[in-house]
Structure 1
Amino acid sequence: MELKFTIADGQSAAFTATVDNLVVAGWAGRDMAAIEHHIEELFAIGVPRPSAVPLFYRGSANLLTQSERVQVVGGESSGEVETFVFAAGGELFVSIASDHTDRKLETQSVALSKQICAKPVAREAWRLADVAGHWDELVIRSFIQEGGREVLYQEGPLASLRPPMELIAGFCGAGTLPDGTGMLCGTVGAIGGIRPAPVFSMELFDPRLGRTIRHRYAVEILPEVA
């Protein structure tokens, strides 16, 4: 899957990254109490408890999209903002993506629920080396359209999640991500509970360097027929 990014490092440079392997790191929090909270909010909508934490789900790379519109079957899916770390040209980069998930199917199989929905990705990225030294200061947040207005849906510092190199080591065993591999690196809890929305906006904020990566997409619901 080819993804086109603009790299912000003082001067903008465009490049294309080919991602052939997609990994979704689940239950990736550092704080076990926070992990338990996320497990409980999912359990409340019928999702079984995980067998271990973290877990590394595999997804089809062709789920990745930079479109501003995704199509889903039925009205029971929702997004969640995550950092997206990927390897290209022997270097690691970070952007954001939404692990859009079918919550109805999630009650039967988490792995399949992640496989059935597109994963929107932003069009901007940063070199991981440029933010690694202050990674914990970065903040992810998302907004949903609800009742005709935009409301805050998720917000939290990356200090609450396992750092990317720890997740990469957990998946790869040693070394770093091979070129062509991208990893969604976990999310924070939903404010007010997990719920669908017609529009999902997400961002990664770097308070030290004063910059933000943003992406927004609309959700088109296709009829669920039998």
Structure 2
Amino acid sequence: MHLRFNTDSNGAAVLDFEVTQLVIAGWVGRDRDAVLHHIRELAALGVPAPGAVPLFYRVAVQQLSQQSALEVVGDQTSGEAEPFVFFHRGEYWVSLVSDHTDRHLETFSVALSKQACVKPVAQQAWRMADVRAHWDRLELRAWIHVNGDWVTYQQGTLAALLTLDDLLQRYFAGQPVPEGFAMSCGTLSALGGIRPASQFRMALHDPVLNRTLEHAYTTTALPVVA
């Protein structure tokens, strides 16, 4: 799967990236008690508990898209803003992705619910080397469009999530990271609870270097027929 990123503010520098492996990291909160509490909350809604914490879901690379208009099946899907880290020519880069998920299917299989939906990716990226020292200060935020207004849906810093180094160590166990590897690095809780919305905006703000990665997309629901 081919993705293209602008790597400076004026769009003059472009990075072309071929994704060969996509992993979505789930249950990555640093506060283990809070993660377990969230697992119990979702279990009460019928969502199966993960087999491990954190848990890594492999998703087909063709599910990534940088388009702003997507189609989904049914009206029970919703986005989740996440840092998107990828390995290209010996270094890591940071962008932004929405782990758009089918919430009805999630009650049967979390893995299948993630595979069922396209994952929108921003068109900008930063060098990981430029943000690694202040990674925890990066601010992740998302909004949904409800009744004509944009409502804050997620908000917090990456200090709430396991670090990239921790996730890579758990996933690769010391083995080399291959060219083309990409990981969606976990999300923050939804303010007011997880709920569907056909318009989604997300941002990753760097308060130290004063810059922001942004992406917005809409979803059109296809009919569920049997």
User: What's the TM-score once normalised by structure 2's chain length?
Assistant: 0.96
Unaligned 5+ residue runs, structure 1? none
Unaligned 5+ residue runs, structure 2? none
AA aligned to 2:193 is G
Label 1:74 to 1:10 Cα distance change in 2 as closer, same or farther (>3 A). closer
Per-residue deviation, residues 150-195 of structure 1 (Å, max 9, x unmatched): 0000011100000011101111111553211100000000000000
Q: Answer yes or no: is 1:106 the counterpart of 2:106.
A: yes
User: What's the TM-score once normalised by structure 1's chain length?
Assistant: 0.96
- Once the two structures are superposed, the pairs formed by residues 55-204 of structure 1 within 5 Å of their partners are 55-175=55-175, 177-204=177-204
Contact 1:144–1:199 (8 Å) recurs in 2: yes
1:31 corresponds in structure 2 to 31
Label 1:29 to 1:126 Cα distance change in 2 as closer, same or farther (>3 A). same
AA aligned to 1:153 is Y
AA aligned to 1:171 is Y
Q: Secondary structure at the match of 1:159?
A: helix
Runs of at least 4 residues of structure 1 off by over 3 A? 9-12
Residue identity (%): 51
Per-residue deviation, residues 182-226 of structure 1 (Å, max 9, x unmatched): 000000000000000010100101111111000000011000000
Deviation at 1:37, TM superposition (A): 4.1
Residues in 1 aligned to 2:10 and 2:221: alpha-carbon distance in whole angstroms? 40
Label 1:129 to 1:176 Cα distance change in 2 as closer, same or farther (>3 A). farther
Deviation at 1:139, TM superposition (A): 1.0
Greater mean alpha carbon deviation, residues 5-14 or residues 48-57: 5-14
Residues in 2 aligned to 1:165 and 1:176: alpha-carbon distance in whole angstroms? 13
